[in-house]
Amino acid sequence: MTYRAPVKDMLFVMKELAGIDAVAALPGNEEAGYDTAAAVLEECAKLNEGVVAPLNRDGDLQPSSFSNGAVSTTPGFKNAFRQFADGGWQGLHHPTELGGQGLPKLIHAACIEMVNSANLSFALCPLLTDGAIEALLTAGSDEQKAAFIPNMIEGRWTGTMNLTEPQAGSDLSLVRTRAEPQPDGTYKIFGTKIFITYGEHDMAENIVHLVLARVTGAPEGVKGISLFLVPKFLLNADGSLGARNDVHCVSIEHKLGIKASPTAVLQYGDHGGAIGTLIGQENRGLEYMFVMMNAARYAVGVQGIAVAERAYQQAVQYARDRVQSRPVDGSLPGAAAIIHHPDVRRMLMTMRAYVEGCRAMALVGAAAYDASHAHPDREVRHQNQAFYEFLVPLIKGYSTEMSLEVTSLGVQVHGGMGFIEETGAAQHYRDAKILTIYEGTTAIQANDLVGRKTARDGGAVAKAIAAQIEHTEGQLAQRSSAACRAMHKRLAAGRQAFVDAVNFVAGQTKASPNAVFAGSVPYLMLAGNVVAGWQMARALMVAEDRLAAGEDADFMQAKIATARFYGDHILSKAPGLRDSIVEGAEAVTSMALEAF
């Protein structure tokens, strides 16, 4: 099945909802306006459609393999990664002084979606490298930045994130990997790390591992964790590759999905200790790693949008080709393509509306990130930072849960053929499942949304978002179209449901934590639904105006129809979620544990 990058929709969102003109007005972004975005996205589409996407099925059939301590990636991956790196895509949004192109996150986010739609397994390598670069930019020394970041941007080296251990999954207070200080200022690292994405592979000359470990004598718990840079190959004084470090892959996992991405078990220190250097200060490792994790959490949310887009495109193609049964309205004399059947259209519209809503939410979030870093006004920076941080668990949690529903619908549209691996529909479904788990499960995103993003400030940021949504409702109310009237009704009900949930969470987290956290994931899903629906409402009004001006009638009519569908079929779920959050806790917690 071919993949076509949805460049037109991305550019519509970037211009009309995310405000790329305002992003281009920020200091340092002067060359990053709409025309630049259009040119970059077109080039990115060519690479991913022509080179990366054709390898997706190959990776599922011929996954990475492990033999004698070495990992061989899927045939074609190494060449594709070379083309990816040579095109400058790894450094798209990283600083120019270190070899990057310095483009805003808004443009980079659209490119992330394309590479992940093309090939989710392949895209994980640059995703983790981006995270490693972000962590070094935040806390690395000048020497570490100069020695490692340019090589990662060039794609000669890649990066990893080493958190998890056999006994320490989400609870990083249990990390036991140890770091022993050496007289020369380095550390020797000993321990085992699991679930290390691209922890070993053959696509680059060196792999830069960022490793959480405890310095000898450090405090117990999360306060005693430090972050270390441990390369696969040590560096000589001139920066060239030197001796092999004492970090080795001992196996790779056999997985439900993303099979081409090698998930490694890494052993540190079996032969005297892996040599690492401290990043930042001792005992602040978790703080630094969260920089990497937040970058990765946003990117995983975009992965959800990406795999859902790929599943949608494949389902539409199949629905146009598959002939089965006469239309229920008798509009054709015999059997017709299944896209004529109302329920197939309902499934396709559900897929499309989810994808477009989440894409809009993610790109609006990216623009807020850009403003939070580059806007000259301190207060504007602060407001955008708070907005972006509130959106991250929604983008990660809602978009990945959405991707499971959309890829499942993709299988359903195919019917029995969707259950057969040859069609490829099942691969998207299998690949999507991990997105709700890694970089913090949906429940962990919900805990973050409840604790750090809602209860901590008494719901202030959430209510400020609700006020913006109410402003959009006012704009809808001034319009007479059936689509706007319907969306006004749904958005108003959704916003009120969201406010009720925010008040419950902000008011009850300390007094009744079990009651609040029983509804934490529904709260995340409600917030994601409403924020994405808000963006679809904004898109609806823009599309009506553009249609009235005679611009691109087919695209604008489709956008109006999709937004209306989101309101009537997805946003309409918000009040029910509100009830389960505010009134449903006792049903979750009342059963005795021994009764399960």
Q: Which residues are bridge partners to 247 per DSSP?
A: 268
C-alpha 397/C-alpha 157 separation (Å) is 30
Residue 57 · residue 421 · CB < 8 Å: no
C-alpha 495/C-alpha 493 separation (Å) is 6
C-alpha 581/C-alpha 572 separation (Å) is 16
Tokens representing 180 are 């022993």
Give, as one character, the DSSP assignment of residue 519: T
Residue type at 451? G
CA nearest neighbour of 207 among 188, 177, 237, 229: 229
Residue 456 backbone phi and psi in degrees, to 5: -60, -40
Residue type at 285? G
Q: What is the dihedral of CA 473, 475, 478, 483, to 10 degrees?
A: -70
The 8 Å CB, 24+ separation contacts for 80-86 are 80/51, 80/52, 80/55, 80/119, 80/122, 81/122, 81/125, 81/155, 81/203, 81/204, 82/155, 82/203, 83/47, 83/51, 84/47, 84/51, 84/52, 84/115, 84/126, 84/155, 85/154, 85/155, 85/156, 86/155
Tokens representing 97 are 């002084």
List 200, 389, 439, 544, catalytic entry? 439
Residue 268 · residue 246 · CB < 8 Å: yes
CA-to-CA separations, 359 to 306, 402, 528, 553, in angstroms, rounded: 9, 11, 12, 21
43 is catalytic: no
Q: Which residue shows structure tokens 């990117």?
A: 299
Q: Which residue shows structure tokens 């696509």?
A: 203
Tokens representing 28 are 């340092």
C-alpha 535/C-alpha 358 separation (Å) is 9
Instruction: Look at residue 242 and give its three-state secondary structure.
Output: strand
Residue 394 · residue 531 · CB < 8 Å: yes
Tokens representing 85 are 């790196």
Give the burial class of 405: count Cβ atoms within 10 A of its Cβ; 0-12 exposed, 13-18 middle, 19 or more buried: middle
Q: Count CA within 13 A, CB hemisphere, residue 488.
A: 15
CA nearest neighbour of 2 among 321, 431, 336, 256: 321
| Helices within 341-377 (DSSP H only) | 342-374
CA nearest neighbour of 134 among 186, 95, 81, 85: 95
C-alpha 449/C-alpha 441 separation (Å) is 12
CA nearest neighbour of 207 among 245, 157, 272: 157
Instruction: Look at residue 178 and give its three-state secondary structure.
Output: strand
C-alpha 375/C-alpha 454 separation (Å) is 25
Catalytic residues: 439
